[in-house]
Structure 1
Amino acid sequence: MAIPIADIAWAREELARFLELTDLYRRPDPPGVAVITAQLSNRGAEKDILGSAQVVEQILDRVLPRWRTEVPDSRNRRVNRWCQHREAVQRADTVLERDAEVRARLGDDAPDLNAAVMHPWVWEGARPLWQSGHFREAVTAAGRKVNAETQNKLGRKDVSETRLFQQSFSQEHPKPGQPRLRLMEDDGSDTFRSVHRGASAFAEGFFAAIRNPNSHEDGLPELPEHEALE
């Protein structure tokens, strides 16, 4: 899939710096003292590593959204606390470097949906659950977020979901306490009527066919990731 990072060169530089800071080595023995230990230390200072990790984790969340669960952790922590990060960074750097080549060689260079470039209301609502693999709940959370932000935008808490969007995209003139959302100027055309009728129907379809069953039906199977993304 397309990599959701605008400046790949910058991202790779940040990943390389993290690898340098967390490189493991054995400290030299003090003069005249022989220390028998298998303990390894990071080359960088802890404060520098922590600062780099703050940026690197955000890059990893974009490139490998499930790195925290898919990259082994427990056995690596016995060696060094940053081992999981280092393996994830190495994987992410390979993706950043060779993604286009791999997709072209495998014969699947078609464009993909990318959740990270969706409207912030959608992705911000879905991201925490999405990254933990709870795709059905992530879709529901995105719907709740869009509903709440639309209520805020219109200053309305008296209606929600289907009724909110039906009234917001109504082609009637605004009324006291009932502002409208407009996708284009009202020029009296069939296009204006079609666009707003479609937006209202789209919202109704989402809440009726997706959001409501997800919220009220117990035992629904987890959505496949691609289906949830679509």
Structure 2
Amino acid sequence: MSIDIPWARAELAKFIELTAMYRPADPPGVLSVSSQLSNRGSPSEIVASAHVVEQILDRVLPRWRSEVSDSRNKTVNRWSQHREAAQRADVALARDAEIRARLGDDAPQLSAGLMHPWVWEGARALWRSGHFREAVTAAARKVNAEAQNKIARRDVGETKLFQRVYSLEAPKPDQPRLRLMPDDGSDTYRSVHRGAMAFAEGCYAGIRNPNSHEDGLPELPENEALEQLAAFSLLARWVDNATLVTA
């Protein structure tokens, strides 16, 4: 599901206004020399708005917590990091397409937040802290666990699991199958399931295993990790959309 940009920008604008700093007017007949500043919104209004805004920021700027400075004096404005991130996100929502077109790169972009929920749910926390290789591994584990849940088996996993569920053999009492299309006896039916089996094997043998078992590997570049997440997202959709066939 894509972002409702007008709604998101309105929520960001509301938060930016609530967290603006100003010097309250002196009470009638009182002259104050204090330079104390306050947020325009009440604490309860800001907290309620922040709950929504944080979720918008997580979609638009997934790494805002680490990339936007949090070093400002929080005694002056505890919301300074959120406020700057909200300002950046508003510009991104308003002008991202224009910027990419003007800079000569308006090609489609991958968004982790739009990938299959199993993948992003598994990867989200590690991804936001910049642990991309571990995030991909976590997503792989999540897809494996959901596939096990679908066939109600825990005794087989990863490559062997997908070899069995996409096998062209008829299901057995202890070996259900996942079917991506009805068995019409066609070459397409056989090709689809052989391909799914080979693709799953490639995901776990070529991506998950090296990420998990090789010590001392450098951190994955973010774009490469995103491509790896996309591979598991496709596998997740195949599993999620498949029909369970039992003996």
Whether 1:32 aligns to 2:29 is yes
RMSD between aligned residues: 1.2
2:44 matched residue in structure 1: 47
- In the other structure, the counterpart of 2:240 is none
Judging changes above 3 Å, is the alpha-carbon distance between structure 1 residues 58 and 50 closer, same or farther for their aligned structure 2 residues? same
Alignment pair present for 1:130 and 2:127: yes
| Aligned equivalents of 1:36, 1:170: Cα separation in 2 | 79
Alpha-carbon distance in 2 for matches of 1:5, 1:150: 26
| Deviation for aligned residue 1:76 | 4.1
Q: Which moved more, 1:148-157 or 1:201-210?
A: 201-210
Deviation per CA, 1:124-170, whole angstroms, max 9, x where unpaired?
Answer: 11111111111100110000000001101110001011111100101
Residue type of the alignment partner of 1:66 = R
The answer as to whether partners of 1:170 and 1:196 remain within 8 angstroms in 2 is yes
- Does residue 184 (structure 1) correspond to residue 197 (structure 2)? The answer is no
Q: How many residues align?
A: 227
Moved over 3 A (4+): none
**TM-score, length-scaled by structure 2:** 0.89
Indicate the larger mover: 200-209 or 52-61: 200-209
* Alignment match, 1:63: 60
Asked if the contact 1:77–1:84 (Cα under 8 Å) also holds between the matched residues in 2, the reply is: no
Q: 2: distance between equivalents of 1:164 and 1:35? A: 73
The one of 67, 74, 79 aligned to 1:77: 74
Return the alpha-carbon distance in structure 1 between the equivalents of residues 73 and 199 of structure 2: 48
Match in the other structure for 2:98: 101
1:225 aligns with 2:222: yes
1:114-193 mapped onto 2 (5 Å cutoff): 114-193=111-190
Q: Distance between the aligned counterparts of 2:155 and 2:148, measured in 1?
A: 9
Contact in 1 for aligned 2:2/2:114 (Cα 8 Å):
no
Deviations 1:157-208 (A, max 9, x none): 0101111110010111111121111111111111111110111111111111
1:16 to 13, 16, 21: 13
Q: Does the 8 Å CA contact 1:76/1:84 hold for their aligned counterparts?
A: no
Highest RCO, 1 vs 2 (Cα 8 Å, sep ≥ 6) = 2
SS in 2 for 1:141: helix
Query: Percent of counterpart pairs with the same letter?
Result: 74
Q: 1:85 and 1:76, CA in 2 relative to 1: closer, same or farther beyond 3 A?
A: farther
